[in-house]
Chain A
Amino acid sequence: MANATLSDLAESASISSPPSTMEIAKDRVFRGLTRGFAWLTVLVVFLVVYEVATKAMPAISEHGFRFVTSSTWDVQNEEFGVLPEIWGTLYSSLLALLIGGFFGVSIAIFLTQDFLPHRVEWAFKNIVELLAAIPSVVYGLWGIFVVIPMLRPVAGWLHENLGWIPFFKTSLSGPGMLPAALVLSIMILPTVSAISRDALSNVPRKLKEAAFGLGATRWEAIIGVIVPTASTGIFGALVLGFGRALGETMALAMLVGNSNQMSLSLFSPGNTLASLLANHFPEAGEREEPVLMYAALILLAITLLVNICGAFVLKHASARMRGATK
């Protein structure tokens, strides 16, 4: 009768037992379900591309490639072109990357190379990360009422005295490229600094100790050894920061000026693809809608390309780092 008592015990689940048929069935179903959800995530990406592309189809067949090279936006005569917007998107993002990248990487170095006590490092890290928590629209509001008034005298002086340089050719009348890029650089700063910090803190300690052992000063070790080792990761951070900047909408819609022109000047108003969408979509008529979808498709293509590049660079960087520590 020993067998019976054992199976009794097993049924009352007071000792461990192999899974019952029911449990195995449940397991199969649940695992299948989670696999299904994983595929759903993949499907979502395709769905986004598909929806935007099909809605843009009429405009693509009508306007073709001329859409990318022309620079008029005339709803009445149905003439559309997004060259100024593409230019504005790339120009503002590049400016933001210059400023945000410089500060982001400096911060990452400063916060990983034992300059500060750990508590202070932690506090700075959190302050920089809080920058990401402020909604974009609040930055836009802040930009209108704080950054633009602050920049106006500086821009005026630069235009008066150095107006012959293309960057200062026009005066700052209000919204413009520079205030937009400045706010944009603040918004990408947390991304750049967080990812570069990861890359820098993954550099094996031994490398730095070896550099110190050879008599390097702190900065010789950083510039000669640590930054080159982490360079792929830092580059990935910059690419992802650039991708973030390309797609930022609200701050630009509020600060860039929404003017359909191309200029090298930092103070002239411009436009970006994202802010074009934000400004025109809500009141788009039937004729304008497919055209805006076309613009959205271009933005989607640019940002996906940049972000996938960034992801690949980072993947490569972490693979290299694993090799280095082994």
Chain B
Amino acid sequence: MNTAEIATEFSDVDFPRLERSLRHPRTLFSIVLSIGTGVATIIACVPLFSVLIMLIYRGGKKLSLALFTELPPTAFEEGGGFGNAIVGTIVIVSIAAAIAIPVGILTAVFLAEFGPQSKTASIARFCAKTLTGLPSILAGVFAYAAIVLATGGYSAPAGGVALALLMLPTVILTAEESMRMVPVKMKEAAIGMGCTPTQVAWKIVLPTALPGILTGVMLAVARAAGETAPLLFTALFSNYWIFEDGSSQVMEPTASLAVFIYNFSGMPFENQIEMAWAASLILVLMVLTINIIGQIISSRAKVS
């Protein structure tokens, strides 16, 4: 039988059609929903672009060197800057990082290496997850109760403790995740060479997992830099430089970009509002830069 004969033989058989008409209700339903979710996805991207455009449009025209070198303007003053707030943000975030990174990584070493199945680990992991959901303002309330009331005043370290509390879970969970990615064979090889678990952790696991850990640290730092609520009553705000005349006022109220934006956005003066936009632009640039560095580190690590 050749093809033509087969065709004539089966010509009167009614095969089910494998394609559906585009006007078929089921197909239509599918197409409508596909378009619907596509539109929803695009709509969700609109706010990001709207924020970025507004920041560039309203913050960009105010950009000048004076913003970085001058102190905040008073009520009817023109010009001015927020140099002290930038320095303050860096100081507070550094204090937070100095607390959260060692604690977080050592906790993660325990969770990933020394007792992943232990009861301690499951409780600690659960607490870390609970901390991710801790509202940032409550971190501030805690730091106020524990540090501000104890030391008798608003200060940069109090703000640092509050931010450290918010960074800690991110550092722990991402560091644990990336340490788990380290191939078991590498660890087994090291154990076979007579390494103690500590040596395995220091010489094999930590160096191999470093890119992942750094990404987590970057994400945590970026998040902390943008936090405002916990700083409102821990570091408060200041109109002066934190380091001046060789002495430091670290134990005094300290300015930060985020609180600067909050304070200035509610003022009835045009200049102050423009300053808030410019400060937002700088803050978002800082946060996005740290984020993107984190992304690059993690994508590099995946390739190699």
Contact = CB atoms under 8 A, between A and B. Distances in A.
Nearest to A182: B47
B152 to A, nearest CB: 14
B41 A107 contact: yes
A30 B276 CA distance: 47
Given A27-B196, A37-B110, A141-B276, A127 B137 contact: no
Interface string A179-222: 00000001001000100000000000000000000000111101
Nearest to A281: B233
A259 B20 CA distance: 57
A34 B50 contact: no
A185 B250 CA distance: 37
B258 interface: yes
Interface stretch (A13-21, A64-72, A155-163, A316-324): A13-21
A320 B114 CA distance: 27
Contacts of A296: 137-138, 141
A37 B236 CA distance: 30
Interface in A1-52: 16-19, 23-24, 26-27, 30-31, 33-35, 37-42, 44-45, 47-48, 51-52
Interface in B57-109: 58, 103, 106-107, 109
Contact of A128 (B45, B51, B137, B233): B45
A41 B168 contact: yes
Interface stretch (A79-87, A166-174, A260-268, A299-307): A299-307
B137 A247 contact: yes
Contacts of B55: 138
B243 interface: no
Interface string B224-249: 01111100110010000000000000
Interface in A230-256: 240, 243-244, 246-250, 253-254
Contacts of B284: 133-135, 138
B283 A135 contact: yes
B293 interface: no
Interface in A99-136: 102-104, 106-107, 109-111, 115, 124, 126-128, 130-131, 133-136
B172 interface: yes
B65 to A, nearest CB: 22
Interface in B195-212: 195-199, 201
Query: What interface size band does chain A fall in?
Result: 35 or more
A48 B165 contact: yes
A27 B197 contact: yes
B51 A134 contact: yes
Given A37-B110, A134-B284, A110 B40 contact: yes
B40 A107 contact: yes
Interface string B269-284: 0000000110010011
Interface in B124-148: 124, 126-142, 144-146
A66 B280 CA distance: 41
Contacts of B283: 135, 137-138
26 contacts: A19-B199, A31-B110, A31-B114, A34-B113, A38-B107, A38-B111, A41-B124, A47-B142, A48-B134, A51-B145, A110-B38, A115-B38, A130-B288, A133-B291, A135-B227, A138-B283, A186-B47, A217-B26, A217-B30, A246-B135, A254-B265, A254-B266, A277-B141, A281-B141, A293-B141, A303-B134
Interface of A: 16-19, 23-24, 26-27, 30-31, 33-35, 37-42, 44-45, 47-48, 51-52, 54-55, 102-104, 106-107, 109-111, 115, 124, 126-128, 130-131, 133-142, 144-146, 186, 189, 193, 217-220, 222, 240, 243-244, 246-250, 253-254, 274, 277-278, 281-282, 292-293, 296, 299-300, 303-304, 306-308, 310-311
Interface of B: 20, 26-27, 29-30, 33-34, 36-38, 40-41, 43-45, 47-48, 50-51, 54-55, 58, 103, 106-107, 109-111, 113-115, 120-121, 123-124, 126-142, 144-146, 149, 165, 168, 172, 192-199, 201, 222, 225-229, 232-233, 236, 258, 261-262, 265-266, 276-277, 280, 283-284, 287-288, 291, 295
